[in-house]
Structure 1
Amino acid sequence: MKAKSKDSGDILWGCRDIASAINRTPAQTFHMLVKKQIPASKVGAIWVASRRRLLAHLAGEVVK
Protein backbone atom coordinates (compact mmCIF):
# COMPACT_ATOMS: atom_id res chain seq x y z
CA MET A 1 0.00 0.00 0.00
CA LYS A 2 1.30 3.43 -0.94
CA ALA A 3 1.81 6.06 1.77
CA LYS A 4 -0.14 9.28 1.35
CA SER A 5 1.91 12.25 0.22
CA LYS A 6 1.96 15.26 2.50
CA ASP A 7 2.23 17.50 -0.59
CA SER A 8 -1.16 19.03 -1.34
CA GLY A 9 -0.06 20.96 -4.41
CA ASP A 10 -0.58 24.69 -4.32
CA ILE A 11 -2.39 24.79 -0.97
CA LEU A 12 -0.46 25.41 2.24
CA TRP A 13 -2.27 24.28 5.40
CA GLY A 14 -1.31 25.86 8.71
CA CYS A 15 1.01 28.56 9.89
CA ARG A 16 4.04 26.24 9.98
CA ASP A 17 3.67 25.19 6.34
CA ILE A 18 3.16 28.80 5.28
CA ALA A 19 6.21 29.86 7.32
CA SER A 20 8.32 27.17 5.70
CA ALA A 21 7.27 28.28 2.21
CA ILE A 22 8.31 31.90 2.85
CA ASN A 23 11.40 31.06 4.93
CA ARG A 24 10.17 32.74 8.12
CA THR A 25 9.54 31.50 11.64
CA PRO A 26 6.01 30.48 12.60
CA ALA A 27 5.86 33.47 14.99
CA GLN A 28 6.84 35.94 12.26
CA THR A 29 4.38 34.35 9.87
CA PHE A 30 1.55 34.35 12.42
CA HIS A 31 2.08 38.09 12.94
CA MET A 32 1.89 38.68 9.17
CA LEU A 33 -1.24 36.52 8.92
CA VAL A 34 -3.06 38.29 11.75
CA LYS A 35 -2.12 41.73 10.37
CA LYS A 36 -3.29 40.61 6.87
CA GLN A 37 0.11 41.43 5.40
CA ILE A 38 0.11 38.23 3.34
CA PRO A 39 -2.74 36.68 1.33
CA ALA A 40 -4.30 33.87 3.37
CA SER A 41 -7.56 33.01 5.06
CA LYS A 42 -8.79 30.83 7.86
CA VAL A 43 -10.73 27.62 7.41
CA GLY A 44 -12.09 26.96 10.85
CA ALA A 45 -9.07 27.54 13.07
CA ILE A 46 -6.43 26.75 10.43
CA TRP A 47 -4.67 29.28 8.22
CA VAL A 48 -4.69 28.38 4.51
CA ALA A 49 -2.79 30.01 1.66
CA SER A 50 -2.05 29.43 -2.00
CA ARG A 51 1.71 28.97 -2.44
CA ARG A 52 1.54 30.61 -5.90
CA ARG A 53 -0.37 33.68 -4.68
CA LEU A 54 1.73 33.99 -1.55
CA LEU A 55 5.06 33.95 -3.39
CA ALA A 56 3.77 36.27 -6.11
CA HIS A 57 2.55 38.72 -3.44
CA LEU A 58 5.93 38.72 -1.72
CA ALA A 59 7.69 39.24 -5.07
CA GLY A 60 5.44 42.23 -5.79
CA GLU A 61 3.66 40.55 -8.69
CA VAL A 62 -0.06 40.86 -9.41
CA VAL A 63 -1.89 37.53 -9.56
CA LYS A 64 -5.42 37.26 -10.93
Structure 2
Amino acid sequence: MAGIKMHHCYHVGCHELLPFEVKYCRKHTINKIRTPEDSKRDKFYNQYKRDKEANSFYQ
Protein backbone atom coordinates (compact mmCIF):
# COMPACT_ATOMS: atom_id res chain seq x y z
CA MET A 1 0.00 0.00 0.00
CA ALA A 2 1.41 3.35 -1.03
CA GLY A 3 1.62 5.81 1.84
CA ILE A 4 1.10 9.54 1.82
CA LYS A 5 4.17 11.56 2.73
CA MET A 6 3.60 13.02 6.18
CA HIS A 7 5.50 15.43 8.41
CA HIS A 8 5.03 17.24 11.72
CA CYS A 9 3.45 20.69 12.00
CA TYR A 10 6.10 23.40 11.50
CA HIS A 11 5.12 25.10 14.79
CA VAL A 12 7.85 24.48 17.36
CA GLY A 13 6.79 21.78 19.80
CA CYS A 14 3.73 20.61 17.83
CA HIS A 15 3.88 16.99 16.71
CA GLU A 16 0.63 16.69 14.77
CA LEU A 17 1.15 14.73 11.55
CA LEU A 18 0.09 16.48 8.36
CA PRO A 19 0.17 15.75 4.62
CA PHE A 20 3.36 16.95 2.97
CA GLU A 21 1.66 19.92 1.21
CA VAL A 22 0.34 21.43 4.48
CA LYS A 23 2.80 23.33 6.71
CA TYR A 24 0.76 24.05 9.86
CA CYS A 25 -2.04 22.20 11.65
CA ARG A 26 -5.42 23.91 12.15
CA LYS A 27 -4.42 25.06 15.63
CA HIS A 28 -1.28 26.84 14.36
CA THR A 29 -2.47 28.14 10.99
CA ILE A 30 -1.20 31.67 10.52
CA ASN A 31 -3.85 34.34 9.98
CA LYS A 32 -2.78 36.19 6.83
CA ILE A 33 -5.21 39.12 7.05
CA ARG A 34 -3.25 42.37 7.18
CA THR A 35 -4.46 45.10 9.50
CA PRO A 36 -4.03 48.89 9.19
CA GLU A 37 -1.47 48.66 12.02
CA ASP A 38 0.62 46.31 9.87
CA SER A 39 0.62 48.86 7.05
CA LYS A 40 1.56 51.70 9.41
CA ARG A 41 4.41 49.67 10.88
CA ASP A 42 5.71 48.74 7.42
CA LYS A 43 5.46 52.32 6.19
CA PHE A 44 7.37 53.61 9.24
CA TYR A 45 10.08 50.97 8.78
CA ASN A 46 10.45 51.76 5.09
CA GLN A 47 10.62 55.50 5.72
CA TYR A 48 12.98 55.62 8.72
CA LYS A 49 14.70 52.29 9.30
CA ARG A 50 15.29 50.63 5.93
CA ASP A 51 18.59 51.16 4.16
CA LYS A 52 18.06 54.18 1.86
CA GLU A 53 19.96 52.58 -1.01
CA ALA A 54 17.85 49.42 -0.81
CA ASN A 55 14.65 51.47 -0.55
CA SER A 56 15.53 53.54 -3.63
CA PHE A 57 15.66 50.32 -5.68
CA TYR A 58 11.89 49.86 -5.19
CA GLN A 59 10.88 53.43 -6.06
When the two structures are superposed, what TM-score results if normalisation uses the length of structure 2?
Answer: 0.23
Bigger CA radius of gyration: 2
When the two structures are superposed, what TM-score results if normalisation uses the length of structure 1?
Answer: 0.22
